[in-house]
Amino acid sequence: IRSVVLGCGSYLPQRVVTNAELASRIETSDEWIVQRTGIRERHVAADGEFTSHLAINAARAALAAADVDPQSIDLIVLGTSTPDNTFPATAVAVQNGLGITHGAAFDVQAVCSGFVFALATADNFLRSRAFKRALVIGAETFSRILDWNDRTTCVLFGDGAGALVLEAQEQPGTVADRGVLTTHLRSDGRHKAKLYVDGGPSSTQTVGHLRMEGREVFKHAVGMITDVIVDAFEATGLSAETIDWFVPHQANKRIIDASAHKLHIAPDKVVLTVDRHGNTSAASIPLALDVAVKDGRIRKGDVVLLEAMGGGFTWGSALLRW
């Protein structure tokens, strides 16, 4: 049994904020941001546009691409750190928005690794035959938790959502078969102070703002990412040469380039969207997947490597045959 991808979709809020616009509000420049991060612009949600709204739009696009009826979905796993409310889970708002009242829907909170954690969770539920068809979503409105006066963080992030439809299919489950081949998840709470939000229901009763020691995050990122990708290669016998596409979490072009270089992944296999999306946390991987599927790069049967690293720290990888 395998969790096979039936389709993907994504959604970005209409409003685009360029580096030039940020430079008109805070002491920064297009040159600094592009050179350090590769980011040129990001999308920002409108007033009244919530994470669940972005997620519902992405889910509808994925369901249409997969050509499946929303009523056939019995599991929704949504990765987010910016839920509409403290509770209920944003996944339940998505379920309701799609008119689904059966099955289960819940959120997974692993910050930028949220999509990989959500995918691994859904994959395990499908392969255990607990559910048959899943929506796996990453959706964020990080613009709501940024300190817009802190130039060291506010230039890095954007809003958006992406979704995959996965189905449990009986099949031999060899590396040649389609579906999720392997997932590997890690976390280590000793790194909390390097990347966290300084608020929350139990601690301050405020939403809080994102705080980050960027250099410290950078220092750990490449090693953690490459370790967990080596685990994925060892589990499947695949390698940098035999994968077709590398779709990393889009935090920073320098982290992506350094990771690909260390793993000997050819630059033309790397899908990059950070220039137009910024870091959309749990949404960045499904947004990038959707771009590469729509423009014809990722095709049925291709081997796709995903990886993410973020607050916690959390990190993880997934290998799938599209």
Residues forming the site for ligand ACO (CB under 6 A): 28, 32-33, 36-37, 112, 151-152, 155-156, 195, 212, 214-215, 217-218, 221, 249, 251-252, 279, 309-310
Of the pair 104, 258, the CB lying nearest ligand ACO is at 258
Closest residue by beta carbon to ligand ACO? 214
Of the pair 1, 23, the CB lying nearest ligand ACO is at 23
d(C-alpha 304, C-alpha 301), whole Å: 9
The residues annotated as belonging to the active site are 112, 249, 279
**Nearest Cα residue to 288 out of 255, 250, 231:** 250
- Nearest approach, Cβ of 147 to ligand ACO (angstroms)? 12
**Half-sphere exposure of residue 251: CA atoms within 13 angstroms, side-chain side:** 25
Of the pair 23, 68, the CB lying nearest ligand ACO is at 23
In the chain, the amino acid numbered 56 is I
d(C-alpha 64, C-alpha 9), whole Å: 8
CA distance from start to end of the chain = 15
- Nearest approach, Cβ of 4 to ligand ACO (angstroms)? 28
- Nearest approach, Cβ of 25 to ligand ACO (angstroms)? 11
Of the pair 197, 221, the CB lying nearest ligand ACO is at 221
Contact of 320 with 244, CB cutoff 8 Å? no
- Nearest approach, Cβ of 198 to ligand ACO (angstroms)? 15
Name 173's Cβ contacts closer than 8 Å, sequence gap at least 6: 1, 2, 179
Please state the φ and ψ torsions of residue 312, each to the nearest 5 degrees: 135, -65
